[in-house]
Amino acid sequence: MKTRNLIGFFFFLILSGTTISAFGRNVEEKEEGKEKFKASTYILEHIADSHEWHILTTKKDTIAIYLPVILFTKETGVNVFSSKKLAHRKIYKGFMLAEEGDLKGKIVTINAEGRIDEENLPLDFSMTKTVVGMLSAAIIGLLLFLSLARSYKKTGISHPKGIQSFLEPIILFVRDDIAIPNLGHKYEKYMPYLLSAFFFILINNLMGLIPFPPPFGANVTGNIAITFVLALCTFLITQFSGNKSYWRHIFATPGVPFWLLPVMIPVEIIGMFSKPFALMIRLFANITAGHIIVLSLICLIFIFDSLALAPVSVFFVIFMDCLELLVAFLQAYIFTLLSALFISLAVQEHH
């Protein structure tokens, strides 16, 4: 009974958060006599990174949580202020949030003529939605594992209880079904990274499915910069773990004629980079696509401006959310599995 209640509450958060946000924006446009509800604008704003956490748009004001802006320029040094000072196209201390062009969504410097100074763009260390979501996921993961460590310290190796009964099967799954089959007796060396990657991706995927309240709803694993860093970590670990057999296979492939090496070496080098590139794109594309589909189904109510579509839209959203729960676990599993596989190719002994 408790499980059903939790699942029901989970879907309630998803539906209420996305519907209220879209409804608020739709009402504002109708009252001001603007164009009809633009689904593409609404969807892209929700999946993109931002300097504010948008909650609701009303006729009079926008309700949002404004995040701190941290900028550095040679002329003014470090500048720290709230992103509210840049909202609604405001200019503060010579800075503005670009709303069009290649720099859209980025904080830029405005020169004396009131134009964007592209040659003196500030270094942006701001706390955006993605940064807050990522740090929140890291803190949640840290609290979970510290709690697990205290539980083991108190009870020792015994029948799992509480947080142990939830985390222990997942950890054993990563060890027995991902690390050991791919890495063999060397698996212990890479378990910390594999577990960290698995839980970091999983927690962020689950947090991204709940749009409200903050820090939930950030599209962290749907940000290509995050997936790039994750894939880069796998790439660096793979290359630094490579043994002689691994590098010999790249620069002197066994069984290949000498005259064919000038062709095979570039192919092998491309393969080195294509593997992490595939990791990056796969995670980014799957998570982003899921968010877009769920938001698109919610937007059908407002696109056709008819509550008659609400039951149908809600039914499909619930169905997609069930799939997204599966995808959240599946993408964490696939990334960890392929990372273990790529590392195993670098550390396996020559036969």
pLDDT higher at 60 or 130: 130
**In this predicted structure, what is the pLDDT of residue 173?**
92
Spatial distance between the Cα atoms of 39 and 295, rounded to a whole number of angstroms: 9
Q: Which tokens belong to 229?
A: 């860093």
Tell which residue, 99, 95, 90, has the closest CA to residue 69. 95
Spatial distance between the Cα atoms of 15 and 299, rounded to a whole number of angstroms: 11
pLDDT higher at 202 or 16: 202
Q: Which tokens belong to 51?
A: 């300097």
Least confident piece of the model among 49-63, 127-141, 228-242, 269-283: 49-63
Give the dihedral sign, CA 154/157/159/160.
positive
Banded pLDDT at 308 (limits 50, 70, 90)? low
Does pLDDT of 195 surpass 50?
Answer: yes
Backbone phi and psi for residue 156, each to the nearest 5 degrees, phi listed first: 75, -160
Backbone phi and psi for residue 291, each to the nearest 5 degrees, phi listed first: -65, -45
DSSP for 21-40, please give it: HHHHHHHHHHHTT-PPP-HH
Contact indicator for 64, 82 with CB cutoff of 8 Å = no
Residue 211, classified by CB atoms within 10 Å of its CB into exposed (0-12), middle (13-18) or buried (19+), is: buried
187-208 helix and 129-155 helix, angle to the nearest 10 degrees:
130
